[in-house]
Amino acid sequence: MMPPVVIVGAGPVGLTAALLLARRQVPCLVLERHPKPYPLPRAVHLDGEVVRILQQAGVAEHFAEVSRPMPGLRLVDGRLRTLAEFHRGNPVGASGHPEASMFDQPDLEALLNQAAADSPLITIQRAAEVTGLTHRAGGALVRYRQHGHDHAVHAPAVLGCDGAGSTIRTALDIEWRDLGFTEPWLVIDVRSPKPLPVWEGVHQVCDPRRAATFMHLLGDRYRWEFRILPGDRVQDLTSPAGLARLLAPWLEDVDFEDLRILRSATYTFQARIARSWRERRVLLLGDAAHQTPPFIGQGLGSGLRDAANLAWKLDLVLRGAADETLLDSYQAEREPHTLAMIHGAKLVGWALTGGNGHTAGVRRSLVRQMCRIPGISRAVLRADSPPLRLALRRARRSPVGRLIPQPRPESDGDWFDDLLGDGFALVTLDPVDPGTAPCRVVHVDDDSPAGHWLSGAGIRAALVRPTAPSAPSPGSAARCREHCRIPKGTGHDRLAGRPRPLRHRPLSHPVHSRRARPPRRHAWAARLERTGRPGPHGRHRRAGRGAVHLLARRALRR
């Protein structure tokens, strides 16, 4: 058996990564600096695509028992009068799970901890604080201190899943790239002895005087989030009198004294992303690599997507079935996807809470007008994530980079992902001899969800990779076409090229050491990265707007 992969951090991202690797027979050692799981609520929302990842980790059925579908979104003004209401017509999405689920993070962590404890391939060491990290041939040497004793382990790979204050990211001296959003908010979690007379969806208070979010989580648990304004004194807001004043509009016949305050804490909502997610065999996941404002509920979901994207690639590399350059595609695929989520969260945050005075009035008017547009409710609540961007150009109807749908099984049926297996799978409408294929072959009917997905894209077959998007490399597609005798004109001809590998610098140093800064980029590329606009001068502008962005993307990848 190979030495265990070291995962630093036993939160949902680290435990999910461990379960996905263990499913592929990769042993894992999880190091967590806290002696016990954190008991207070934090993340409260996951979409159906992310619950599909929990399904692969083996906890989706139990997650359904500790979560509930979220029916929609209501926009209200400062007096809690409804501006607009968006309902989910069908709570179950294309991934076979509710499009939006409300839950309590300690409940999810309990499920993941139990699943990890049941796996013979996962070892969790708590009260273990990483003190050193050194690159070695074929992996890294991790030093940690536990109960007053020092330990060292040589790991074939190290995954930093230890949050925004990541020790692993600090050890690698990787800087943050600021995406221009920093706001302090007050988060209040309570238990109420009586059900509050509120709608079961999420309430967004579009009030420029104090933007807020309110949601019923599960059972007797409720959450409020309030923007902290300039001039506010945090000690006044978090005092009993201050909390009672903030919560009063929602309580009606419930006395504030009867509430049990689980948590009232200030957080700085930020939008930023690490400049590099990998140094040789050390990789960053979750909040260690990126932070997303909470307005679309994708912070934890992005971290679980990281784990799903990386687990199968790391498995192939460790088993020698793929070159180590495959790990370059982790950031190349996940970073554009994560940036799209972050920019979407910033846009939604501004649309719902930004502006004041005349700007706020215009926004309220636009919201009312938009609600009259047919289909706007579906667009607002759309849970589909942006596709993986494997090429600069992609056909509009192409399924490349998109998740293949997974219908909910009958009471005694299997999930579609179980039929696909843990490796590559050829999903086809036409008969193919499985004995001639270099991967699993799954035949689907024309009237099945997967059949509609294929025919809707104008193709007869698609090569689906382990995380269920149809986005393998051209070489895999060519081998499948050759061995399975699939005619040209199928979806394989539209598969995107391999992402450009990121450049990584060798590094061998302990925690907190310093090293030289990365080379300076072109000024126009840095300006594009910071503002989203190219510079006003130079040959790049004369080359045309499209050329500017094409050249800038290439420069920013260097």
Distance CA 385, CA 65 (A): 25
DSSP labels, 162-226: S-TT-HHHHHHTPPEEEEEEEEEEEEEEEE-SS--S--SSEEEE--TTS-EEEEE-STTEEEEEE
Q: Strands of 217-334 (E only): list them.
A: 221-227, 260-274, 278-279, 282-284, 290-291
pLDDT one-digit tens code per residue, 290-324: 999 888 888 899 999 999 999 999 999 999 999 99
Strand 128-136: give its sheet, edge to edge.
128-136, 139-146, 149-155
pLDDT given at position 26: 96
Measured in whole angstroms, how far is the alpha carbon of residue 428 from the centre of its chain? Answer: 29
Helix (H, G, I), strand (E, B) or coil at 466: coil
Q: What is the pLDDT of residue 490?
A: 33
Whether the CA torsion 487, 388, 102, 211 is positive or negative: it is negative
Per-residue confidence (pLDDT) for residue 310, from 0 to 100: 96
DSSP, residue by residue, 255-276: -GGG-EEEEEEEEEEEEEEES-
Dist. CA 310–CA 298, nearest whole Å: 18
Q: Which of 104-113, 378-387, 431-440 has the highest mean pLDDT?
A: 104-113
Of how many residues is the chain composed? 558
d(CA 34, CA 237): 29
22-45: average pLDDT: 93
Q: What is the mean pLDDT of residues 323-347?
A: 90
Instruction: Confirm if 403 and 99 have CB atoms less than 8 A apart.
Output: no
pLDDT of 130 > 60? The answer is yes
pLDDT of residue 435: 79
Query: Looking at residue 208, what is its pLDDT?
Result: 79
Look at residue 520 in the predicted model and tell me its pLDDT: 42
pLDDT of amino acid 466: 85
**Given a cut of 90, is residue 103 above it in pLDDT?**
yes
Q: Which range among 71-80, 283-292, 398-407, 547-556 shows the weakest confidence by mean pLDDT?
A: 547-556
439 DSSP 8-state letter: S
The pLDDT score that the predictor gives to residue 276 is: 95
Phi, psi of 275 (to 5 degrees): -70, -25
For all residues of the chain together, what is the average pLDDT? 80
| Least confident span in 118-127, 256-265, 472-481 | 472-481
Q: Is the pLDDT of residue 166 over 90?
A: yes
pLDDT of residue 353: 67
Q: Assess contact for 401 and 394: CB atoms under 8 A.
A: yes
Pairing, β 425-428 against β 440-443: parallel
Is a pLDDT exceeding 60 seen at residue 249?
Answer: yes
Q: Which of 268, 310, 260 is nearest to 289 (CA)?
A: 310
The answer to whether 38 and 16 are in contact (CB under 8 A) is no
**Cα 343 to the center of its chain, rounded Å:** 13
Give me the helix-helix angle, 299-318 and 48-57, nearest 10°: 40
Band the pLDDT of 411: cuts 50, 70, 90.
low
Helix (H/G/I), strand (E/B), else coil: 159 = strand
What letters, b where the CB count within 10 A reaches 16 and e where it falls short, cover 23-41?
A: bbebbbbbbbbeeebeeeb
pLDDT digits 0-9 by tens, 364-386:
566 666 655 655 555 555 556 66
Q: Give the range with max mean pLDDT: 203-207, 284-288, 412-416.
A: 284-288
**How many whole angstroms separate alpha carbon 129 and alpha carbon 9?**
10
Confidence class of residue 42 from pLDDT cuts 50, 70 and 90? confident
Q: Between these two residues, 44 and 553, which has the higher pLDDT value? A: 44
Higher pLDDT, 438 or 292: 292
Q: Rounded mean pLDDT of 400-423?
A: 84
Q: How confident is the model at residue 550 (pLDDT cuts 50, 70, 90)?
A: very low
CA pair distance 463, 439, nearest whole angstrom: 9
Strand 290-291 to 425-428 pairing:
unpaired
Comparison of pLDDT for 272 and 550, the residue scoring more: 272
Structure confidence at residue 173 (pLDDT):
94
Region 542-555: mean pLDDT is 35
Give the pLDDT score at 77.
85
Is the pLDDT reported for residue 140 higher than 50? Answer: yes
Residue 87: predicted pLDDT: 82
User: Residue 373 has what pLDDT?
Assistant: 60
- Higher per-residue pLDDT: 268 or 529: 268
pLDDT of 356:
55
Sequential DSSP letters for 107-145: HHHHHHHHHHHH-TTEEEEESEEEEEEEEETTEEEEEEE
**CB atoms closer than 10 angstroms to residue 350:** 15
pLDDT band at 393 (very low <50, low <70, confident <90, very high): low
pLDDT value at residue 515: 38
20 within 8 A of 57, measured Cβ to Cβ: yes
Cα end-to-end span (Å), the chain:
37
pLDDT of 139 > 50? The answer is yes
What's the Rg (C-alpha) of the chain? Answer: 24
The Cα-based distances of 282 to 23, 230, 467 in angstroms read 21, 40, 21
pLDDT tens-digit series, residues 487-536: 333 333 223 233 333 333 333 333 333 333 444 444 444 444 455 444 44
Question: What does the CA dihedral 159, 303, 417, 454 come to, rounded to 10 degrees?
Answer: -120
pLDDT of residue 236 exceeding 60, the answer is yes
Residue 339: pLDDT over 60: yes
Please give the Cα distance from 266 to 277 (Å, whole number): 28
Confidence of residue 71 (pLDDT cuts 50, 70, 90): confident
Q: What is the rounded CA–CA span in Å between residue 201 and residue 199?
A: 6
Structural contact between residues 198 and 214, judged by C-beta atoms closer than 8 angstroms: yes
Apex CA 304: angle with CA 218 and CA 322, to 5°?
160
The whole-angstrom separation of Cα 216 and Cα 478 is 50
